[in-house]
Structure 1
Amino acid sequence: MTDETDLPAWAERIRHERRRRGWSQKQVAVHLFKAAGNEIALAEFESVLRTIKRHEAGKGHPRDPYPLLYCRVFEIPETKLFERPAVPEATTDDCADDDANSVSSAALPWLWGAGQTADAIYDITKSDLMLNRREAVKALAITAGLPLVDPVQRWLAYPPPVPSPSEYGGRIGLDEVAQLEHAANVFRTWDDQHGGGLARKAVIGQLNEVADLLRDSHPHEVSVRLFHVMAQLAKIAATMSWDCGMQTAAQKYYVMSLQASTPGEDKPFGASVLASMARQLLYLDRPQDALELIRLALDGVRSTATPRLRAMLHTREAWSYAKMGRPESFKRATGNAKDAFSEIGSHDPDPDWIAYFDDAELAGVTGGRYLELAQHDSRFAGDALDHIRQAVALRQRSSMRSLALDQVGLAYAHLLTGDRDEAVTLGNAAADAAGQVQSDRVRVQLREFYLEIKARKDPIMAPLEQHIRETLAR
C-alpha cells in the first residue's frame, strides 16, 4: 500500500479535499458524473471509481477530463489543485483563501448602478452569442462561500438607483415595452415546458436587445419597466444555461438578474432570483450557502411578499435543511411553506413570474426533499411517495421538465419502499419522459436513480438499467 507521505502533492490534495467534505470515494464519483453533465462522456461508474482510487494512490497523473472535473467538484482552480495553468475563466488569485473554497467574486459582475448593469449585460450577452457552447461548459466552477454571500447582502440594503429620465423620450414607448414583457412570458413558458436547450440563444439575443435599449435614456416609467424585463430575461437565460450544463454562465445571469431587479424596483422578484441561486447551490451540494441566500431573501421581502412567494422561499429553506441532514428543521420550514400557501386568495394577486408555484409544485418539491432524506433513512420513503404521487396527479402535462422530475422521483421512491415491480414500471416511464426534455437537472436525477439501480445488481431491474443507460447516452 502506498505510504501517504510518499504521495505526489496533487494526490494528497485530492484526498484532502474529499476528506474535508466527509465524502466517500463513491460520492466523489457521483459528483464527477454531475460535473460532467451533457458535454463530457465518462466511463461506467465502477471504472470511474477505480480511476479515483488510482489517483488518490498517486498512480499516474489524472488525464483529461479528470483535472477539469475535479476542479469543478472541489471548486478549486487547477493552479491550486494540480499546480498547472488554470483554465481561461479563472486566475491564480481566484482561490487564495482556503476557507472560501471557491472562485473569487471577481468572476461575477457585481455592479449595482443602473447604467453599469445595462452595459455589463449587453457585453456579456454579446460575448455569449458568439461563444461555442462546448467552450462555455469548460468554465472552472461557480462562486460560493463569502465571495458570493457578502456581495449579495448589498441587494438587501441598496436603494433603487433612479434611472436618468429623458426629456425627449427614448427609442421606444410603453406599447413596445408591453410587447417585450409579453415576449419574456413566452420564453418563460417555453423553458417550463421543454427545458433550456431549445431557446437559450433566442433569450440571450432578446436580452442583448433590451440591454442595448437601456444604454439610452428613457422616461422613468419606461426605464423601470425595461429593467424589469431585463431582470426577467436574465433569470430565464440563467435557468436555460443551467439546463444546458453551463453552471458558471447560469450563475452569472442570475447575478445580473438580481442586480437588474433593483432599478426595476421589484424587490420580490429579486427574492425569487435569490431562491433560484440557492437552488443552483443546492444542486451543487452547497446547502449552507443556499440557506444564507434564502435568509437574505426572506429578510428582504418580509413585509412585501405575497403568500405564494413566501411559500416558495420556505420550500427552498426546507430544501437546505434536508441537504444538511436536519429533518426536524426541514419539517418546520415545510410547515411554514404549507401555512403560507394556505393563505393564498383572490385578494393577493401574484405576478406571472411566480404563478408556476402551484399545488403541484409545492407537493413536488416537498416530495423531492423527503426522497433525499429517504436515501439515508428509509422511514421518510412513505412521505416522499405520498407527496410525489400528489404532484404527478396535479401537474399540468405541458410542464414536461417538472413532470419528468416528478416521475423519476416517484420511481425512486417506490424503489426505496421495496416495491420493485412498480419501480420498474414507473422507471421506464420516467426514462421516456426524461428523453423528451433538454434539461441537465433531469439527466442528473435520472443518473442518480440509475446508479442506485446499478448498485443493487438485481436481475429483475436489469432491463430498466439498460433503458436508462440508453436514454442517458442519447
Structure 2
Amino acid sequence: MSDVPAWAVRLRIARRERLWTQREMAKRLAEAADEHTRAYLPERDSMLRMIKYWEAGRHRPKDPYPMLYCRVFGMEEDELFSDAAASPRRPPADVLKELLGRENPLVPERSRRGRRIGAGTLADMSARVHSLRLADDVLAGRDLIQPAFRELHAAVRMYRESIFTEDVGRGLLVTIGEFAHIAGWVAGDAGQSDQAAGTYRLGISAAHQAGDGTLAGHLIGALAYQVTNSADPAEGVALAHTALNAAGPHAPPRARALCWDRVAWAHARAGQAQEAIRALAEADEALAHPSGEAEPAYLYWVNTGELQIMKARAYTELRRPLRAVPILTDILSRYDATHSRELALYLSWLAVALADANEPEEAADVAVRMLTLSADVASDRVAHRARVVLDRLKPYRDVRRVRELINDHRWPA
C-alpha cells in the first residue's frame, strides 16, 4: 500500500466505507454529472475500468471526475485528492455507522391511515418469509424474484402506513430485515447484483432500527458474500469482519459459525490461506458449542454438513484439492437431490477440485452430472459455475472424455 498514492487510497477507503462496489461507484459518478457532462461520459464498463486504475494509483482522475467524486462523497477536492497520507481504514463499527447514517427509507408516515396491526399479523408475515426460504431450497432466483420483492414491498408499506404498538413495530422491522435477506439472496441468484446489494442495505437498516444485532450480522454477511463473489474480495473481507462484529460475541452459535464462514470465504477468495483456515476453525468451534436456546428461523439450514461443504469450497478456492475432494465426495453422496441448485453448485466445486488434483476423467464425469442437473435451473450462480468448470477443464482437452464434454456443452460467451 505504501507505493499507492494517498489520494488513491482515500478514494478506495471512501467508497468502501459506504459499502459500495466499484460498479456502484461508477453508477453514482454518472448520476452526479449534469446532463451536458453525462453525455460525454464513457460506457459503464469503461468507467469501471477507470475506477480500478484510479484506486490502484495507476492514473490520476482528470476533469470532470474529481468534481464528480467530490459531489458523490460530499468532500472538498483539496481534502479528497491531497497527497497527504490517507487515514487508516476505519474499524467495522465505524464502517457500519457510515452506512446507517445516510438515508432511512423506513420512516413511518406522519399521518398513518392504515389499519391497526398486532401480533397475529406478525405471525402471518413470519410464516410467509419462511415459506420463501423453503421455496428457495427447491427453486432458483429467476423463479422467485417477483414474489420475494412483492412480499418485501408489502412489508415496508405496512410499516410506513399502519398503526401499531412499539413492540409490534420492532417485530415489523425484524420481519422486513428477514424479507430483505431472502429477497437480496434471490436477486443475487437471478444475476441482479446491484439490486441484491441495495436490498441487503435496506435489511441492515431495518435490523439496526430493531436493535437486532444477530440479524444485522446475518445481512451484512450476505452482502459480504455478494461483494466477495461479484466485485472485490478485499472488500468482502472488510464486510465479513463487519458482519462478525455486528453480530457480537453472544450471537447464537449457528449465526457466529456462518459469520466466520463468510470471513473464511472472503479470505480464500483474496488468496489469504492462513486467515481463511483460521476462520474455518473458528466456525467449527462456534458450531461445536450449541447454546440450547431457540435460534432465529433463518439459520435453519446451518449445520455440520453445510459447514463442511463451505470448508471444502474454501480449500478448492485455495487450490488444496486433497483436502476438498474427500469432504465433497462424502457429503454429496447423501445430499438431498431435491435441492437441485445447491447440488449443482457443490458438484461444480468437486469437479474443479478433481481437475486441480489432476483427475480429468473423474472431473468430467462430475461435470456431466452437474451440467445435466443444472440445465433447467434458472440461477445465475449455477450458470457462472458451469462456465468456471468448463474453463478449468480446457487444459485437459487432449483427454477424450473432457473433449467430448466441452464439445457437447459449449457455453455462450
Aligned CA distance change for structure 1 residues 465 and 167 (closer, same or farther; 3 Å): closer
Show the counterpart of 1:365.
310
CA contact (8 A) 1:166 1:219 kept: no
Show the counterpart of 2:332.
392
Describe the superposition over 1:440-461 as per-residue Cα deviations: whole angstroms up to 9, x where unpaired: 1221121111112224432421
Describe the superposition over 1:15-48 as per-residue Cα deviations: whole angstroms up to 9, x where unpaired: xx9xxxxxxxxxxxxxxxxx9xxxxxxxxxxxxx
Show the counterpart of 2:410.
469
Corresponding residue to 1:440 among 380, 391, 399: 380
Partners of 2:111 and 2:69 in 1: CA distance: 43
Partners of 1:253 and 1:167 in 2: CA distance: 24
Show the counterpart of 2:365.
425
Q: Read off the aligned partner of 2:295 and give its amino acid letter.
A: D
Aligned CA distance change for structure 1 residues 73 and 193 (closer, same or farther; 3 Å): farther
Show the counterpart of 1:199.
144
List gaps (5 residues or longer) in structure 2: 1-7, 9-22, 24-41, 54-58, 76-88
Overall identity of the aligned pairs, in % = 22
Q: Which moved more, 1:250-259 or 1:397-406?
A: 397-406
Shift of 1:205: 1.3
Partners of 2:50 and 2:193 in 1: CA distance: 14
Show the counterpart of 1:132.
none
Q: Read off the aligned partner of 1:268 and give its amino acid letter.
A: T
Partners of 1:431 and 1:399 in 2: CA distance: 15
TM alignment of 1:376-391, pairs within 5 A: 380-391=320-331
Q: Please provide the CA RMSD for this pair.
A: 3.9
TM alignment of 1:214-293, pairs within 5 A: 214-216=159-161, 217-293=163-239
Q: TM-score, normalised by structure 1?
A: 0.65
Partners of 2:114 and 2:157 in 1: CA distance: 16
Shift of 1:373: 0.9
Partners of 2:324 and 2:50 in 1: CA distance: 30
Describe the superposition over 1:31-82 as per-residue Cα deviations: whole angstroms up to 9, x where unpaired: xxxx9xxxxxxxxxxxxxxxxxxxxxxxxxxxxxx954454566669xxx9x
CA contact (8 A) 2:227 2:235 kept: yes
Show the counterpart of 2:56.
none
CA contact (8 A) 2:344 2:370 kept: yes
Partner SS for 1:199: helix
**Residue 298 of structure 1 pairs with residue 238 of structure 2:** no
Aligned residue pairs, count: 354
Aligned CA distance change for structure 1 residues 414 and 96 (closer, same or farther; 3 Å): farther
Shift of 1:92: 8.6
Partner SS for 1:469: coil
Corresponding residue to 1:339 among 285, 307, 312: 285
Shift of 1:329: 1.8
CA contact (8 A) 1:285 1:323 kept: no
Describe the superposition over 1:142-168 as per-residue Cα deviations: whole angstroms up to 9, x where unpaired: xxx98x99552357999xx99899999
Aligned CA distance change for structure 1 residues 382 and 226 (closer, same or farther; 3 Å): same
Corresponding residue to 1:211 among 144, 151, 156: 156
Show the counterpart of 1:42.
none
CA contact (8 A) 1:76 1:95 kept: no
**Residue 173 of structure 1 pairs with residue 113 of structure 2:** no
Partners of 1:247 and 1:264 in 2: CA distance: 26
Corresponding residue to 1:408 among 348, 359, 362: 348
List gaps (5 residues or longer) in structure 1: 1-16, 18-34, 36-65, 98-102, 107-144, 375-379
Shift of 1:96: 5.6
CA contact (8 A) 1:360 1:395 kept: no
Partners of 1:434 and 1:212 in 2: CA distance: 36
Shift of 1:324: 2.3
Show the counterpart of 2:15.
none
Q: Read off the aligned partner of 1:408 and give its amino acid letter.
A: S
Partners of 1:348 and 1:277 in 2: CA distance: 27
Show the counterpart of 1:58.
none
CA contact (8 A) 1:238 1:250 kept: yes
Q: Read off the aligned partner of 2:410 and give its amino acid letter.
A: R
